Amino acid sequence: MSHSLGVRQAQKQKTRQALLDAALGLLEEQSLSSLGLREVTRMVGIAPTAFYRHFRDMGELGVALVEEALGSLHAMVRAILAEQDGAEERIDRTVAVVERHVRRYPLHIRFVARERHGGVRAVRQAIADEMDRFAEEVAAALKSQPVSEGWRDDDVRMLAELYVDRLVTTAAALLDADADGVEGAAEQVVQVARRQLRLISIGRRHWREEGRGSSGGKSGA
């Protein structure tokens, strides 16, 4: 009996993933709010009623796509920020990680870029929550660096949000550059991202605020 349950569970997971993949393909050309449940189930080859064995509605499917799109990126960027190499090396590796992620998961990134301000509230909230968690993780990594000694927690969080915003913007810009097909456009996006992050890094080293000592002269990402 346990073997039969295992087979059924594996098949259910396979169908669930097929629904996610089908929806993602359809969302390349439209928004989630305009995507019909029947369109997705037709592509998978199941009855529309079978959809509800896997998701409550299209919003829940969209939330699952958000988790697929952003979940793996957190750990990769956090690990780079935790390294003790120089600021420029960390910046270069962070931008490279984002570029590889876009190349590997272009449909996921396009979905997040479109739905971040889209019409499905549950998905907008899921993206906002992922961005918030991303910022918390980056803030924890930044807080552990010597250059952050004496910083207020809200200042570290503000810095983390600047990094996260730049990375998300860079991912969307890379997608647009690929879509435009202009030679050298993607490399230009990468170079601009590196310069922007270096500018943030310089500002970090010279940040001053009443009630907080100077952190100038130290190096950080």
Residue 36 above 80 pLDDT? Answer: yes
Residue 208 above 70 pLDDT? Answer: no
Nearest to 25 by CA among 12, 9, 43, 7: 43
d(CA 109, CA 99): 11
181 torsion bin: left (phi>0), alpha (psi -120 to 50), beta (else): left
Give the CA-trace dihedral at 116, 39, 181, 92, to 10 degrees: 40
Residue 210 above 80 pLDDT? Answer: no
Contacts of 188 (CB under 8 A, 6+ apart): 177
The pTM assigned to this predicted structure is 0.83
Quick: pLDDT tens for 132-183.
Answer: 999 998 898 888 888 888 899 999 999 999 999 999 899 999 999 988 888 8
Which residues pair with residue 209 across a beta bridge?
Answer: 212
Quick: pLDDT tens for 68-122.
Answer: 988 777 777 777 777 756 778 888 988 998 999 899 999 999 999 999 999 899 9
Q: Could you tell me the sign of the dihedral formed by the alpha carbons of 63, 173, 104, 131, in that order? A: negative
Radius of gyration of the chain (CA): 21
Cβ pair 177, 186 in contact under 8 A: yes
Mean pLDDT of the chain: 87
